[in-house]
Amino acid sequence: MSETSDLTLDEAQKLLKQVGLRPDFPVDRSQLRQALFAVRPHCDYQIFGVCAETAEAAISALHRYVEALGFDRPPTLDPIEGSVYVKYNPYSGLCYIDSYLGGERGVLVSCQSNYDDGVRDTYGHLPLDLFD
């Protein structure tokens, strides 16, 4: 999926922050996807963290996010029982799954930049099914 965005970087960041601060914030999912596409060119890479009820839900959400945003799929993970946290760094290839006792659910997108004018911020928890 190679979407473009009509949002400015400032508009995209504001929207992403509002959703992260208030998970119940009413937002058009198309606009939220556009916000991620608007931010992506302003960082060198992104790191993904997924909190979900099951390993299958977390891995599925991770695959949809990285494919939509143009990253390589993570290595295969062995599912574990219960609520989980999955972290994937497409830059280094590091990917792991662990038990998660917290109550948050969703995807964290952490933007990383080597440059002063790049985006360095974390957005989320974004909907697990944003790219369904």
CATH superfamily of 9-126: Dihydrodipicolinate Reductase; domain 2 (3.30.360.10)
Q: What is the pLDDT of the chain when averaged over all its residues?
A: 92
CA angle 122, 91, 131 (to 5 degrees): 55
% the chain with pLDDT above 70:
95
The enclosing H or E element of 23 equals none
Q: Quote the pLDDT of residue 19.
A: 87
| Largest CA-CA distance found in the chain, in angstroms, rounded | 42
Domain boundaries, the chain: 9-126
Centre a 10 Å sphere on the Cβ of residue 78 and count the other Cβ atoms it contains. Answer: 6
Q: For 12-53, how does the pLDDT look when each residue is reduced to its tens digit (9 = 90+)?
A: 999 999 887 776 778 889 999 999 999 999 999 999 999 999
pLDDT of residue 27: 82
Residues 114, 86: Cα–Cα separation, whole Å: 24
